[in-house]
Structure 1
């Protein structure tokens, strides 16, 4: 049985006493080495969850427990050593004049010795395919390259939990695919607990579990395949259903028996090929 890393216990939050609740009575658990996707339309509360996890915000009601510690003013700095976050706009995270300076920054603040810093800069940049850009100025990088460096900067401090808050939102489809593959590789290699926060259902297929937010509440929590099967309900709460899921439904309507809800084109093609082979 896997260890609990994160617990939300009846958490509610709002930006000021007179403001509406952004989160209402949210309860969920996330386990060690698990990949969780948190999805929802803009304003659903998903990015607020990310900021609560990293201690950037504090809930008015409920408790947040990370690795056995309740998140509060006394524990926040210890927790931030274990929880790294990559934001939507990597420019907001850059502090160094070169790529290697930026990756070194977090380690310098934590008192890493120089030899260890050099080793980790090389390892983390290699892990995200940016080892050839050590002396490049961050503003000269493409959007996807910037996000890779932002991920490397967080990995360098060896977090237990990595949060990507809409980290691909500013990228084109090719850049999004590349970053998600990088994230998948990094998570597997480093045994991270990974939380990806997005409004794009295409990005949840690799996750083990999906939490769907709607109007500040948990609307559903299930496996990606189960979430994809609820197409009409997802549309009603403002989420776009992936094309492969729509196509599978169209095929069913004309009498083609799709055996399972496909998560991607490869699964659908394999299903169709198997069906063709039997006929």
Structure 2
């Protein structure tokens, strides 16, 4: 049984007393080493959840607990040791003149000894495939390389939770695939809880569990397979469905008895091959 790491308890938030509620009585839990995807249309509240988790915002109602500790003004610096966040535009996170300096910055602020900093810089840059660029100026890197460095900078502070807030949105498909492969490896090797807030359906299908936000409320919470089986309902709230799921649905309507709800090409081919073998 995995330990409960994050709790949202009846959390509501708005960006001003006269503004509408962005989150309305939101409750969910996230466990150690779990990969959660949070999806929803623009304005559904998903990025607000990320900022609340990292203490960039605080709820007007309800409470948020991380490792049993309530997120508030007094606990914020302790919370940020537990929760690392990578944003959509990595340029907004760079502060160092070289890649090495940038990865070191967060550790310096936390008073980590120099020998430990050197070790972590080497380990995290190696983990994201950027060790050969440690003396490079960040502005000379490609978009995908910048995101790798941003991830290394967060990993260097040894968080328990890594949040990617639309972190692949500015990358091309190849760059997205590479970053998510890196993140998947890092999550597994470091036993992290991973929260991806994304519009990319290929990221969503890799998660263990999906939280679907709609107008500030949790619309559904289930595995990717269960979520994407509700194609018509998702379209009604303005969300897309993976192409493979659409294709599988069309094949079923054509009388081809696919036994499962495939999430990727390999699963669909396996289903079709199994069906062919029986005929």
Q: Same fold (TM over 0.5)?
A: yes
Instruction: Measure the CA separation in 2 of the matches of 1:141 and 1:192.
Output: 26
Are positions 1:207 and 2:211 aligned together? no
Aligned to 1:255: 255
Aligned to 1:88: 88
Instruction: Measure the CA separation in 1 of the matches of 2:202 and 2:2.
Output: 27
Instruction: Measure the CA separation in 2 of the matches of 1:269 and 1:222.
Output: 24
How far the C-alpha of 1:46 sits from its partner, in A, is 0.1
How far the C-alpha of 1:112 sits from its partner, in A, is 1.2
Q: Is the 8 A contact 1:12 1:24 kept in 2?
A: yes
Are positions 1:166 and 2:166 aligned together? yes
Instruction: Measure the CA separation in 2 of the matches of 1:202 and 1:156.
Output: 27
Q: Which runs of 5+ in 1 are unaligned?
A: none
Aligned to 1:19: 19
Instruction: Measure the CA separation in 1 of the matches of 2:56 and 2:130.
Output: 29
Instruction: Measure the CA separation in 2 of the matches of 1:271 and 1:132.
Output: 42
**Partner SS state of residue 186, structure 2:** helix
**Partner SS state of residue 135, structure 1:** coil
Q: Is the 8 A contact 1:200 1:240 kept in 2?
A: no
Aligned to 2:218: 218
Aligned to 2:146: 146
Q: Is the 8 A contact 1:5 1:66 kept in 2?
A: yes
Give 1:228-243 correspondences, 5 Å limit.
Answer: 228-243=228-243
Provide Cα deviations, 1:39-60, integer angstroms capped at 9, x if missing partner.
Answer: 1111110000000000000100
Aligned to 1:7: 7
Give 1:1-279 correspondences, 5 Å limit.
Answer: 1-279=1-279
Runs of 4+, deviation exceeding 6 Å: none
Instruction: Measure the CA separation in 2 of the matches of 1:271 and 1:139.
Output: 46
How far the C-alpha of 1:200 sits from its partner, in A, is 2.3
Instruction: Measure the CA separation in 2 of the matches of 1:234 and 1:202.
Output: 16
How far the C-alpha of 1:199 sits from its partner, in A, is 2.1
Q: Is the 8 A contact 1:42 1:199 kept in 2?
A: no
Q: Is the 8 A contact 1:39 1:200 kept in 2?
A: no
Instruction: Measure the CA separation in 1 of the matches of 2:238 and 2:88.
Output: 20
Instruction: Measure the CA separation in 2 of the matches of 1:231 and 1:152.
Output: 36
Instruction: Measure the CA separation in 1 of the matches of 2:205 and 2:183.
Output: 13
Provide Cα deviations, 1:150-179, integer angstroms capped at 9, x if missing partner.
Answer: 000000000011000000111111111111
Provide Cα deviations, 1:84-134, integer angstroms capped at 9, x if missing partner.
Answer: 000000000000011000000001111111111111111000000111101
The count of corresponding residues between Structure 1 and Structure 2 is 279
**Partner SS state of residue 64, structure 1:** strand
Instruction: Measure the CA separation in 1 of the matches of 2:121 and 2:2.
Output: 30
How well do the aligned residues superpose, as a CA RMSD in angstroms?
A: 0.7
Instruction: Measure the CA separation in 2 of the matches of 1:233 and 1:140.
Output: 44
How far the C-alpha of 1:278 sits from its partner, in A, is 1.1
How far the C-alpha of 1:144 sits from its partner, in A, is 0.6
Q: Is the 8 A contact 1:130 1:148 kept in 2?
A: yes
